[in-house]
Structure 1
Amino acid sequence: MDSEEAFISLLDHNKPSNPMRKTLLKASVLCLMLSGFISRASLFAQSDPTGKKPITSTYAITNATVFAKPGSEGSKATILIKDGVIKGVGSNLSLPVEAKVIAGDSLFIYPGFIDGASQAGITKPEDPKRPDNFDSSKPSDEIAGITPWRSAVDQFSIDGSQVDAMRQAGFTLIQIVPEGGMIAGKSALVILGDDKSTNVIKENTSLSSNLNGARGMYPGTTVGVMAKFRDVYKNTELTKNRTATFASNTGVVRPEITPTYQAMMDVISGQVPVLFEVGNDLEVRRALSLKNELGFQLILTGLEEYENVIDLLKSSGTKVLIQLAVPDDKAIKAKEGEDESEEVKALKARVKASYDKAIAQAGKLEAAGVPFAFTTIGAKPNDLMKSLKTMIEAGLSEEAALAALTTNAADILGVSKFAGSIESGKMANLVLATGPIFEEDSQIKHVVVDGKIFEYETKAKKKKEGAEGSGGAIAGTWDYTSETPAGSSGGKITIAKDGSSYSGTITYDDPAGSGAATSDLEDISYEGSSLTFSFGVSAGGMNLKVDVSAEVSGNTMDGSMIIGEFGSFPISGTLNPTLIANK
């Protein structure tokens, strides 16, 4: 029986009505009125032979716990998305008929994360060939690693596992920086969205630079790099002034405009900042000295060792991107040997002290009042959240951690008008997690980028053997009710405990009108005070999956029941514990 026949069967069924039948019938009617189809395949246009073109770009994520920005308390709300833009956030939104409704009852939603400097999806260009008469003391700009005309966009591809891994970690918007030498080229802002789109928001957002010298040629040292950067900057200023003089006067010699000077014009005019990669406090001081001498805008990125210059960063007002990575802790966790010498023990103690100092820096930066964001260069996407949680354990607040991923990054990159928070009018870049984002067991289930929804597999939480939820015992018989547009319906939920696992059944009014029906409970999980399970319902030839998520407190539970794609409905219950007669 196809979905249309199932619908007619439900409508024409002339057996006596009952509450559960009304629930499923009304839910079916509502769903069909909104979308015209029941199956998942109906989300896509019939004219699209690939089955991948969505017939709607309008979505409503309903009844989720939304954290609109850092510092805000999570509140139940619906987020309406249309054409990649957030059209509304609230609890009483009027949803358009074309909206695809996504039940978000068990989800926690955050703004999409932003990476301040990234090489995800970046490929390294080929090194230029050296000429036969190569002079290492006077290399060409390109051979010496001075390529400000290069664009990260030309090196970027949205395809590939690294980009998907970044997206799966919650990153939706990144500033890509080109691979290269001391002046690598122009960065750009891109979204990690649909591979059919260019995904470029803005090119030439900064000039990517560092203090790394060229091998076997000038400039090969840090001092040489600083001198060369100064030389390039000053010559670009002279070229700009000579060009202006040539344009407004006669009899003036035409100035030579090289690709290097042309590409540096936006920097000396103050239109774009220099994104200077620095790893330690000495490099911070050197970059700041160049900035103070020459007067360009500066963003410091890649900071790894910076505790000794926190006061300097604050007083200078410099924008900062710190590494979202922590040192390897394997040596810290290694077991001590019985016959270790005092020298080895002392060495391990120094390593641990250095490790503790490194992971505590972000918290000290927050305490000093220095706003910062993150760069993922040098870090593995799968380790990003682990590193962040380590920083939080070492003193960084969760609010500052979230700000570094969202609002601070948006401010530093100049995209606050359309990114960094969940508000009407901003891009639909969202992270949907199974719990509060920094909790140990929380996992990212969906990531929305520019209105496109990416789904990721989540692993079932491991339940410790013999562990009992903190909400109270759940074994026994529950009387439950569910409120729907058709009214109240209900039945009984019976749960039995066998060692560390659970089994059970649920009764409900048969949609076919033949009294009560029973279904086995599947995937029962009870951790803390959270109880989840699912069961199947057969209605008019359709097999529907019902997912239940509830919070248990004493002998009561309250939560939501998601019926297939029909939506979410509240459910509540009272426990009647199994009575065991005295012998």
Structure 2
Amino acid sequence: MKNYFLKAGLLGLLISGTVLQTTLAQSDPTGKRRVTSTYAITNAQVMSAPGQEFSKSTILIKDGVIVGIGSGINLPKDASLISGDSLYVYPGFIDGAGSMGVTRPKDPERPKDLITSNPPDEIAGITPWRSATDQFDGSNSQVEDWRKAGFTISQILPDGGMIPGKAAILILGSSGNTNLIQINTALAANFRGSRGMYPGTLAGVMAKFRDIYQNTLLSLEHERLFASTAGVIRPQTTPTQSAMGPVVQKQIPVIFTAGSDLEIRRAVALQKELGFKLILTGLENYEPVIDLIKSNQIPVLIKLELPDDKAIKAQKDSGITEATQAQYARVKEAYTKALQQASLLEKAGIPFGFTTSDAKAGDALKTLRTMISNGLSEKAALAALTTNPAQILGISRVAGTLEKGKMANMVVATAPIFSEDAQIKHVIADGYVFDYEVKKASKSEGNASGTVEGVWTYTSETPAGSSGGEITLKKNGASYEGTITYDDPSGSGKAKAPLKNIAVSGKAISFDFDVAAGGMNLTVTISGQVEGTSMEGSLSVPQMGSFPIKASLSAPSLIP
């Protein structure tokens, strides 16, 4: 799996020298300082669970397990100490449904005599026997990105068709370990039809799921009769039916990824008809189905991302008609409602967790702060990161809070985690300590002219050597526009692409651009922090990870 990932990266942006080799800005992000004997974080402000007050406490850890927490703890003489003065400690964050480090398996070759109305299950994207662990690479930089954002546990979902396989719960510890907490924890499902064959529509997917479920019921009953009754013909159980058994027997839930309220209603209808355990994820606007979710007591995992605001930024302040003003108002209202989705779930009393799928690790804390500024309480936000997903995943016994006997998974920050100036200094996962560089607050903001406009020269280091280009930014009304140059993947010099989704907020800047490389169309995201005329940040590529990037403002406000 590691070789496949490396190959994909080389064929994508690494060919062009645009994918960057990870140069470690952190003091020890590798986690080589293993908490194997006795270790203590002393005199820190500790929040053991959501809703509790901070208490000045010491946390004593041995072999990756919390063996003591509180004040007045007698520390052994051989204890290694981390000074917790001025630091804030929280339970490690838990990802309810993620794709970090997961790569999509190669599609099987279609047989020449394929009957499209009744294709083999694997050809049709029905592979419940697969495990997400078979697609997981713990050394993938996405794992480090999310750990740096405070996540210590993830339930990873396999990639594939309508039933891609089973999830697994992993701890984000050392890449040299298996890191497996529990395998086959849930069945991943969605309404993704099969192209050019059955089931190819939403209705077809529902019918196929119903057919698989009912046939598995019959198969289990046949197996029971064969084991207890003489003269019964030996059952011919298929791999699909064997793998679906735990779902039918209600031993594990189905995590349905549903992208619309119609799909949510269809998933709930299937659950009510067939009786399996259900977890919902993937929806952006829960408001139309909140009553349905609450009445059926269905756990929810919401996206840890914000809706695109480029339509808001593109709005003009003057020279518009009343009709356009009314349209702008409707767009703003819809955007505001989207930001309030988490708070609406809280007000409805629906416990929810987060899914990191399709989200950006570098934006995680910013996203949470925006949700809080739009009505979500800090208590509910922390619960969605800790106790709620622990309950949904069935691991509350070992994770979700800081207590004696639980796994030593924790986030150590320089300030209360949801405050604007909070930075994560340490993450402890599975007894491994990951240290991150904490930047000192700067009194200056932006460059000398107070703007990010101009020509930025960026550089990166790749396994093939140094590469770079120029980023041009110009303000247009309330929004920004610009371009970026990069080494052409075809080898014909420099290529240029327009920037998309440009966002500037204080020192923070982010934008996307598209690259065609190796037959793939990739959307690359650059995000960073501006200090004077310098910028440091990361370049993120879906399914490949994030890599560091540096830039300097070579021509402030000089737009060619």
| TM-score, L = length of structure 2 | 0.72
How much has 1:462 moved relative to structure 2? 2.4
Q: Is the 8 A contact 1:176 1:188 kept in 2?
A: yes
Distance 1:392 1:88 in 2: 32
Unaligned stretches of 5+ in structure 1?
1-42, 44-49, 466-583
> C-alpha separation between the residues in 2 aligned to 1:331 and 1:443?
30
CA distance in 2, matches of 1:263, 1:132: 27
What residue is the counterpart of 1:236 in the other structure? Answer: 216
1:413 corresponds to 2:393: yes
Alignment match of 2:380 (pick from 393, 400, 405): 400
Q: Could you tell me which residue of structure 1 aligns to residue 516 of structure 2? A: none
Alignment of 1:290 onto 2:267: no
Give the Cα separation in 2 of the matches to 1:120 and 1:55.
Answer: 24
Per the alignment, do residues 381 and 260 of structure 1 end up closer, same or farther by CA in structure 2, a change over 3 Å counting? Answer: same
- In the alignment, is the contact (CA less than 8 A) between 2:86 and 2:414 conserved in 1? yes
**Which residue among 297, 300, 303 is the counterpart of 2:280?**
300
Q: Distance in 1 between matches of 2:364 and 2:97?
A: 14
Q: Which residue of 2 aligns with 1:446?
A: 426
**Among residues 169, 185, 193, which one is paired with 1:213 in the alignment?**
193
Contact 2:219–2:241, Cα closer than 8 Å, also in 1? yes
SS of 2:177's partner is coil
Change (3 A) 1:184 1:51: closer
Structure 1 counterpart of 2:263, one-letter code: E
Letter in 1 for 2:334: S
Is the Cα–Cα contact under 8 Å of residues 33 and 433 in structure 2 kept in the other structure? Answer: no
Cα distance in 1 for partners of 2:249, 2:388 equals 25
Q: SS where residue 395 of structure 1 aligns?
A: coil
Matches within 5 A, 1:125-204: 125-204=105-184
d(CA) in 1 for partners of 2:147, 2:98 = 12
Q: How big is the shift at 1:136? A: 1.4
Q: State the 1:342 CA deviation.
A: 4.5
Q: Cα deviation per residue 1:466-506 (whole Å; 9 max; x = unaligned)?
A: xxxxxxxxxxxxxxxxxxxxxxxxxxxxxxxxxxxxxxxxx
C-alpha displacement at 1:334, in angstroms? 3.8
1:54-453 residue pairs with structure 2 within 5 A? 57-334=37-314, 336=316, 338-453=318-433
Give the aligned residue type for 1:151: S
Higher relative contact order (CA closer than 8 Å, sequence separation 6+): 2
Q: Which amino acid aligns with 2:369?
A: K
Give the secondary structure class of the aligned counterpart of 1:147: coil
The structure-2 alpha-carbon separation of the partners of 1:101 and 1:255, relative to structure 1 and needing over 3 Å to count, comes to same
Letter in 2 for 1:153: T
Q: Which amino acid aligns with 2:147?
A: R
* CA distance in 2: counterparts of 1:464 and 1:156, whole angstroms: 42
Query: d(CA) in 2 for partners of 1:96 and 1:303?
Result: 50
SS at structure 1 position matched to 2:295: helix
Determine the C-alpha separation between the residues in 1 that align with 2:238 and 2:367. Answer: 43
More deviation in 224-233 or 453-462? 453-462
Stretches of structure 2 that go unaligned for 5 or more consecutive residues are 1-27, 446-560
Contact 1:144 1:218 in 2 (8 A): yes
Code of the residue aligned with 2:426 in structure 1: it is: H
Displacement of 1:249 in angstroms is 2.2
How many residue pairs match? The answer is 417
Paired amino acid for 1:224:
G
Aligned to 1:487: none
Residue in 1 aligned with 2:455? none
**What code does the residue aligned with 1:146 have?**
I
Q: Quick check: 1:56–1:98 contact (8 Å CA) kept in 2?
A: no
2:229 is matched by which residue type in structure 1?
Answer: N
Question: Are the counterparts in 1 of residues 35 and 433 from structure 2 also a CA contact under 8 Å?
Answer: no
Separation in 1 of the partners of 2:347 and 2:34?
A: 47
Deviation at 1:122, TM superposition (A): 0.3
The answer to whether the 8 Å contact 1:56/1:100 transfers is no
Measure, in 2, the Cα distance between the counterparts of 1:458 and 1:54.
Answer: 21
**In structure 2, what residue type is equivalent to 1:379?**
A
Q: Is the 8 A contact 2:39 2:80 kept in 1?
A: yes
> In structure 2, what residue type is equivalent to 1:367?
K
Rounded to whole Å, the distance in 2 between the matches of 1:152 and 1:56 is: 28
* Cross-structure match for 1:460: 440
Q: 2:109 corresponds to which letter in structure 1?
A: K
| Shift of residue 55, structure 1, vs aligned partner | 8.9
- CA RMSD of the aligned region, Å? 1.9
> What are the Cα deviations for residues 338-366 of structure 1, in whole angstroms up to 9, with x where unaligned?
43455544433222111111111111110
Deviations 1:74-106 (A, max 9, x none): 111100010000011111001112210110101
Contact 1:177–1:186 (8 Å) recurs in 2: yes
Partner of 1:11: none
Q: Are the counterparts in 2 of residues 63 and 76 from structure 1 also a CA contact under 8 Å?
A: yes
- Bigger radius of gyration, 1 or 2? 1
User: Aligned partner of 1:314: which letter?
Assistant: K
Please report how far the alpha carbon of residue 322 of structure 1 lies from its aligned counterpart in structure 2 after TM superposition: 1.1
Normalization by structure 1: what TM-score? Answer: 0.69
Deviations 1:494-537 (A, max 9, x none): xxxxxxxxxxxxxxxxxxxxxxxxxxxxxxxxxxxxxxxxxxxx
**Deviation digits for residues 124-168 of structure 1, max 9, x if unmatched?**
100000011112111110011100000001111111211100000
Partner of 1:180: helix, strand, or coil? Answer: coil
Mapped partners of 2:189, 2:239: distance in 1: 16
Distance 1:280 1:440 in 2: 33
